[in-house]
Structure 1
């Protein structure tokens, strides 16, 4: 845990977590680890912005002591109460128990709910300011981006937006700035983060960005709470969020399936062939959701104009991995995407109807009643799958 200066008076005091593979319990895959970004702002007053995840609390506080006498910290800002940002607060507050903690009213409720402590909370709302000497910190509530308590704060003079979870990525690198890391990796982690976490709040994202832009303040850095700091053309990620927030789609179709004896897999491959025959420009991606990472699948759903979901019928239902990905898709509330079902069966064939119903619950526009094949597809069945693929391909031109 080495610290570095972002500007002359702003120091990164966070934690890099190279070993992290799962986040939000087991809900989010972090192939490239993550960082927990915490910042120390020095002026006539000294401010600590956010902390780190609870497993690193003791390490964090001990290292922070090497950077500053903890009693010199005048204020703490908790932009978001989620434990990956606030987890070191109990350890820190044992050392400096009376230090005021600035957060939203919802932040107070959340922090009390997590830690059951009645610390010296100072509630703030959009437009409130905290003078720290030559500079001010301006608070901007960001409700549901992605929790009710979330907020940003803006440091005048240094022109830094401390954006917490917004504009971040679960991405660990020895380089901490957007212009120093692999751009393809950065984009991949940024869109994955948006697709899996922020998609349900896209309208709020759009409104909040418009609100921040209306402040008409210069932004030289966007200091996120996960991943890199945006310093080269920092507003590029803001512009990208605006694009993602507007019912984003690329010219892509994603087929998601699980299969018992490869019949549904064979259908997926053949349907994809039919789509390609009538729509050669479209990109087609296939995922066996029983074997592929679910967050990578969701990222492809986010990018797609149409999604096909397939399952063998089992015990009058669908395979568990398909049920799980459908539930995740429902919760993310995608907009303006088409969908259809397919699958093989042995004697009852309920999977098609069940998948279609779940897709409807998720807000997808249903293309048709779906397509099913009895037993393993023979030559005639594969021709039907080709025809079905052509129908799908023509429906998304």
Structure 2
């Protein structure tokens, strides 16, 4: 399997794409699809694959600069495992450009495809990359003939046992032409308007909804959830609104001091007593997590993976460190340290809301009822907090 350079996308596909397959990266005029395609290429180069890139969209020097701005550096691989064929200069440059890696007449489909196929005949390359097919499409006097040439090229490369990555800008193609040019591809990955979605796959997909939100960053295309799992990501999402508001992307938030939350918990216990107080805090935690499990089960493949996402966000948001101690079909034990709020010498547990949130999450994720309890708490003198969650039969 070949990784596409983004773990969440690889997980959806069950590890990546099959070697020897063809992958279309479809996008719009922002060219996020192109960035993701080159992330996949860089991952392949790091894995020791040999790559031929055919660049129709811009001069190779400009391509290299564009990719460096998104954390993709091809320089260490040039003239070794990476070759870039210049399909741009003899379309737009002054005079005829010569050279070993310059296509003489990119608009001549017969010559261009013959040069590409000949380069792929031996063992010199494992992967063909076309950036992109849209540039040529706009210049053709007969787009239908061009589409046929692309389809034949992709299928002939596949017959050689080589992998093909192709970028396609869907905004430019006529609807019927777009459908036609995508016919030979085993995988179609759409990358546009902040969402990556797998539209076609050789193998069964691992999740119910094979898509996720992303951001375009200095490190390329990055899943949005990763930005909520690191302090730097959260800082990038924070903004001050008008009239005394603070927003975490589209969610209004408030900076909360530890003493404030601690006094709230102590007040609940003082007012309701230990049992009713614990019950209220537990129910409060459940209420906070309504919907999280339903969302997660559409995008994660296992309980362990889903819980790890929660643990990462808890650390990033200052809630403390959670880790999985035991996982079985009926019992899950989670350890917590430095949970928010902290306390010392208190007679009752401080974090029943964590137990309620985890129970609500597991109930939604599994479709079976779970209940939980904080059995140890640092505020009561324990070395760490501990949550025991049990499936209710």
Same fold (TM over 0.5): no
TM-score for both structures, normalised by structure 1: 0.26
